């Protein structure tokens, strides 16, 4: 069982994914850029995947790739501090350890 934090705000929700896990997803799917991740963010050592599409695509891949069930730790916040768009940080994520 793998537990991911899910942040629910008054307007939207985000799955918090460690950069390392997201890097594995990028490499496994041979993604050359992140421009399809329009509403996701990078902050510190985590990627915040929006709930409408990007979160579910990642979860489906993670479950199949690692053969694990996913659990969520839900946290309610008024807002989420957005650092920078994920699409602009491909090189940072690929270069992370």
Residue located via tokens 């839900």: 74
pTM of the model: 0.81
Q: Which domain holds residue 77?
A: 2-95
User: How distant, in Å, are the alpha carbons of 30, 33, 57, 97 from that of 92?
Assistant: 16, 12, 21, 10
Q: What is the pLDDT of residue 17?
A: 94
Instruction: Tell me which residue has tokens 């969520």.
Output: 72
pLDDT at 55: 92
For residue 65, what is the enclosing H or E element? helix 54-66
> Mean pLDDT per segment of 10 residues, for the chain of length 97 residues?
90 90 85 73 85 90 93 85 59 65
Domain count for the chain: 1
pLDDT for res 18: 93
User: Cα–Cα distance between 94 and 84 in angstroms, integer?
Assistant: 16
Radius of gyration of the chain (CA): 13
Neighbours of 5 (CB within 10 A): 15
């Amino acid at each position: 069982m793998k537990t991911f934090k899910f942040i629910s705000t008054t307007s939207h929700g985000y799955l918090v994914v460690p950069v390392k896990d997201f890097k594995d997803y990028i490499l496994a799917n041979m993604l050359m850029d992140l421009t399809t991740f329009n509403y996701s963010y990078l902050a510190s050592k985590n990627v915040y995947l929006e709930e409408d599409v990007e979160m579910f695509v990642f979860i489906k891949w993670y479950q199949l790739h690692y053969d694990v069930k996913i659990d969520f730790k839900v946290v309610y916040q008024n807002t989420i501090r957005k650092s920078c768009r994920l699409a602009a940080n491909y090189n940072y994520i690929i270069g992370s350890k």
